[in-house]
Structure 1
């Protein structure tokens, strides 16, 4: 027969053992959670890198078509892909910059999107608004925007046209301008 004191000590030993097992289990859970967090961060980096590569792929796909359009339709002399400028610690990036001097005296900023969204129009406006701050040498030129997209809804196309932007979409693996015959672009 056990005494009440022995029963209490036995219960305390069992409780201590159970607590130690719980502590080990919690440490293992914590280690697994940290490992899971690390894996999620790594996956996020990989997905971000894949998105950047897809964007670069789309820009590369658009360049030959856009260069042809810019030279033949608009008479551009210079077509430069992936233009990056830094001034006073501020950065500015354009997917394609094209311009011509002389009688044409115009510049075109092309923004290439895999999937154009509403913010694509705001981004284009911001690029055109900030353009002369980063390129004062083109200050006297008429400035136009072209939104080139693989995927673009009809509503977003109409909105871009109303904003005065040219729209280019892919057709048979080639980007083509997609504007009405009476379209009047807005010079910025």
Structure 2
């Protein structure tokens, strides 16, 4: 026959329950602390990773910029001669010329000019169709941004070391000169019957 439950038994049960509750609570707190520490470490790792990505982006940006400068410096010395051979008697060459119109500023990578004609050249290490499209918009704004050339004949040219397949056809169709590498120098790749657009 079972023993009757006494008040002491009930208190003992409460004490045991309370002890278990405390043990569970301490275990939960330990787990929370562990997770918090792990979260802190993860946050620190994420911050380090973000800093590394930012540094890499900065380095890649600098490399891309230097590569662009290299391409500009490859084309600049040949630019006047190339267009003189096409009957455009330009003689003055300038790098990174900036102008301002009502939409903001525009920058021309290489500008080659004489007193009545000017050639604006867009230079990319990797020339894509979207670059040509943007440059065509720049040419539309050119005379407002550079009012001293408002009565000059304006020609456009695009240049690149790597040129996407569709760029040749698109640039020529839009009336632009296409400059590309050839051996140690660069050439205008348009055919003899090409008629450049005059803006």
TM, length-normalised to structure 1: 0.89
Q: Please identify, of 162-171 and 70-79, the stretch whose mean Cα deviation from structure 2 is larger.
A: 70-79
CA contact (8 A) 2:129 2:166 kept: no
Q: Which residue among 109, 112, 120 is the counterpart of 1:109?
A: 120
Q: Secondary structure at the match of 1:3?
A: helix
Q: What aligned pairs does 1:47-86 form with structure 2 within 5 A after superposition?
A: 47-73=60-86, 74-86=88-100
Match for 1:43 among 51, 56, 66? 56
Q: Matched residue of 2:191: which SS?
A: coil
Contact 2:95 2:111 in 1 (8 A): yes
CA distance in 1, matches of 2:89, 2:24: 91
Aligned length: 185
Which structure 2 segments of 5+ residues have no match? 1-11
Task: Extract unaligned runs of 5+ from structure 1.
Answer: none
Aligned to 1:120: 131
List per-residue Cα deviations over 1:77-131 (Å, max 9, x = no partner): 3111221234679222111111122xxx211111111111111221221221111
* Structure number with bigger Rg: 2
Q: Contact 1:148–1:175 at 8 Å: present in 2 too?
A: no
Task: Provide the residue aligned with 1:135 in structure 2.
Answer: 146
Task: Give me the whole-angstrom Cα distance separating, in 2, the residues matched to 1:120 and 1:23.
Answer: 49
Contact 2:124 2:159 in 1 (8 A): yes
CA distance in 2, matches of 1:137, 1:5: 90
Deviates more, 1:59-68 or 1:3-12: 3-12
Distance in 1 between residues matched to 2:43 and 2:138, nearest whole Å: 47
How far residue 134 of structure 1 moved from its aligned partner, in angstroms, is: 1.6
111, 118, 127: which one aligns with 1:97:
111
Question: Displacement, 1:165?
Answer: 0.6
